[in-house]
Amino acid sequence: MEQKDTAINIEFITPQGDQRKIEACSIQVKTPHGKTEILRNHAPFFALLEPGTIKITPLDKRKGAEFIYLTNSGVIEVYKNHVVILAENGFFGEDLDTKALEKSEAELREKMNTCPEQLSETLKKLNAVMEKLRITEEIRESAKRSH
């Protein structure tokens, strides 16, 4: 394990009460000006975050990268090797269960055929499930490229 003095301390917070702290050696985020990578001793930095994937490389290189997906906007502040991400809404890629999402997709598609009076609500739910499935695929592909 690397020394703690090489760590970037990341704190991820949402208004829904999600909070997680991670020790990392780097973090990649998407801002309106493009992708930015934060490494140890980065200059003070404050930026808006765009929806999309945040990639965190943990301090323990034996572990794979962690991914957070922002479904809406957020902000990032970097100061003295401490990173705070305040996200309007987001979730960790590891929290997504692909099999459960695929099952929900099949059930919602069936409901579209059997309950046309609930079509609008069913489509809204189906779109959310499809977006999460797309995210799981994006995270899986990013993980393959990082190894």
Strands 34-39 and 19-31: antiparallel
Looking at 17-31, 75-89, 118-132, which range is the least confident one? 118-132
* Strongest mean pLDDT among 32-46, 56-70, 91-105: 32-46
Q: Can you give the pTM of this predicted structure?
A: 0.71
pLDDT at res. 146: 59
Give the single-character DSSP code of 76: E
How far apart CA 23 and CA 68 sit, in angstroms, is 14
- The conformational region for residue 142 under phi > 0 = left, psi -120 to 50 = alpha, else beta, is alpha
97 vs 84, higher pLDDT:
84
| Mean pLDDT value across the chain | 86
